[in-house]
Amino acid sequence: MTKTIIHQLSLTGIGGVQQSFVPYFQKALKDSEYKHLVYGMHELDENYSDIRKYYTNINKSLWNKLKFIYFIFSSKYIIHFYNNVGSPSVNKLLSLIPSSNIIFHERGTIWNAKDEDKDIYLSNVSKANLILANSNASKIMLSERFSIDENKIKVIYNGFLSKDDEYLSNEAKKYSEKFSIGYIGRLDTPKGVHILIESAIKLPQYDFFIAGDGKWKNMLKNQANGYENIKFVGRVKEPLDFMDKMDIIVVPSIREPLGNTVIEAGFCKKAVIASNVDGIAEIIEDGKSGILLEPKKNITITDLPKDAVPIPKVVVNPRTRKLMIPKEIDSDELCAAIIYLKKNKEKKDIFGEMLNTTVKEIFTIENYFYNLEKVYNI
């Protein structure tokens, strides 16, 4: 009998987990040797209505809850939990129900975990057949911070849909005639957007476009108030379309488990300037396929907006592969890197081409699908 894969995640918002899951799921429905269903804790976001008939809200009824409990208990199903390694509610559930085929998929939540969560992580891991990590940085965080056995962790990189070269034309209509620097992502603590705005204030000759939404939006807009070269464009439905209108992309993150924006920029053949932290160095080779800036400065903003993501206690140093206190990149060094790429178009284009080669080899939906199929077979 064909096993069924139960993907446990909530499809709400437009985060990295959701954006990479939906195209994977659509491919799995066509090409997988398994059946696939999605069970979440919330109502399905209208952005994902294409998979509505495969989605069940566990909390909508007692019957849905009982079905999910049965799936955990039965050997006919594989339960694939996304970002729930440290979940107390999942821990309580697994402590009451004998489980057969459990996979936990760590995609960034451990950066926000508290030290007192260690016992929950270890307990959940003990119930799982396998832990998946979306980067080597995530694997290091799991093993170094909470002493999880490395042999139980397998790295599978996120997969993304690319656009054809014909679609991503160099003649795409830009937002501005000026040299344009783009940021796209959540406007929240880990993303370091305040550093980009500091640089934008120092570079009035260039235009800076900030796409996204989040708890920091109002604070960032206040920081940028009065500077006409800084433009907030809100959420964009097609990230690649936005990036295609930029000259370069900046990813000034304080922590970044992998770096989905870097990957998407690569599909657009855009040069990227990014923080050398966590998983970003697994995508960009400094000086060959982009520019990595070392986080050296103490974090300058500590008065966080209400409900903002907290500053992580530790991040991964890609050079040492050890944990370190989080820092932020220097806005002057970011300015220098931006000016360098403006003056060196050939180098900028080479960075974009090299990054494009990397992401097309590694970070595709096809690779992600193939690697998960192998995991389910095991």
- Tens of pLDDT, residues 335-367: 999 999 999 999 999 999 999 999 999 999 999
Query: Which tokens sit at 375?
Result: 């995991």
Least confident of 38-47, 145-154, 250-259: 38-47
pLDDT band at 253 (very low <50, low <70, confident <90, very high): very high
Note the maximum CA span of the chain.
Answer: 64
* Whether the Cβ atoms of residue 139 and residue 130 lie closer than 8 Å to each other: no
pLDDT over 80 at 160, yes or no: yes
Q: At what angle do helices 62-73 and 88-96 cross, to 10 degrees?
A: 60
Q: What is the pLDDT of residue 161?
A: 82
pLDDT over 90 at 304, yes or no: no
* Whether the Cβ atoms of residue 265 and residue 284 lie closer than 8 Å to each other: no
Query: Which tokens sit at 67?
Result: 């079905």
* Whether the Cβ atoms of residue 141 and residue 298 lie closer than 8 Å to each other: no
Q: Please tell me the distance from the alpha carbon of residue 9 to that of residue 40, in angstroms, as a whole number.
A: 5
CATH entry 2.40.37.10 includes domain 180-362: no
Residues 6 or more apart whose CB falls under 8 angstroms from that of 238 comprise none
pLDDT band at 177 (very low <50, low <70, confident <90, very high): confident
pLDDT over 70 at 23, yes or no: yes
* Whether the Cβ atoms of residue 256 and residue 275 lie closer than 8 Å to each other: yes
pLDDT over 70 at 165, yes or no: no
* Whether the Cβ atoms of residue 159 and residue 368 lie closer than 8 Å to each other: yes
Q: What is the pLDDT of residue 355?
A: 98
What ranges in 114-228 are assigned the alpha helix state H?
118-127, 136-146, 193-202, 217-224
Name which residue leads in pLDDT, 109 or 343.
343
Query: Which tokens sit at 10?
Result: 């909530």
Q: What is the pLDDT of residue 10?
A: 82
- Residue 337's Cβ-side half-sphere holds a number of Cα atoms within 13 Å equal to 27
* Whether the Cβ atoms of residue 236 and residue 261 lie closer than 8 Å to each other: no
- The CATH T-level fold of domain 4-160+365-377 is Rossmann fold (3.40.50)
* Whether the Cβ atoms of residue 62 and residue 89 lie closer than 8 Å to each other: no
Q: Where in the chain is the domain with CATH 3.40.50.2000?
A: 4-160+365-377, 180-362
* Whether the Cβ atoms of residue 94 and residue 73 lie closer than 8 Å to each other: no
pLDDT band at 373 (very low <50, low <70, confident <90, very high): very high
Strand (E) or helix (H) holding 291: strand 291-293
Give the C-alpha distances (Å, rounded to integers) separating 118 from 81, 87, 108, 123.
Answer: 18, 11, 16, 9
Q: Please tell me the distance from the alpha carbon of residue 187 to that of residue 214, in angstroms, as a whole number.
A: 4
Query: For the chain, what's the residue count?
Result: 378
Q: What is the mean pLDDT of the chain?
A: 91
Q: Please tell me the distance from the alpha carbon of residue 131 to that of residue 118, in angstroms, as a whole number.
A: 15
Q: What is the pLDDT of residue 184?
A: 96
Tally Cβ neighbours within 10 Å of residue 160. Answer: 23
Query: Which tokens sit at 60?
Result: 């909508």
Q: What is the pLDDT of residue 16?
A: 66
Q: What is the pLDDT of residue 172?
A: 54
Q: What is the mean pLDDT of residues 48-70?
A: 92
Q: Please tell me the distance from the alpha carbon of residue 83 to that of residue 103, in angstroms, as a whole number.
A: 10
Beta bridge partners of 57: 40
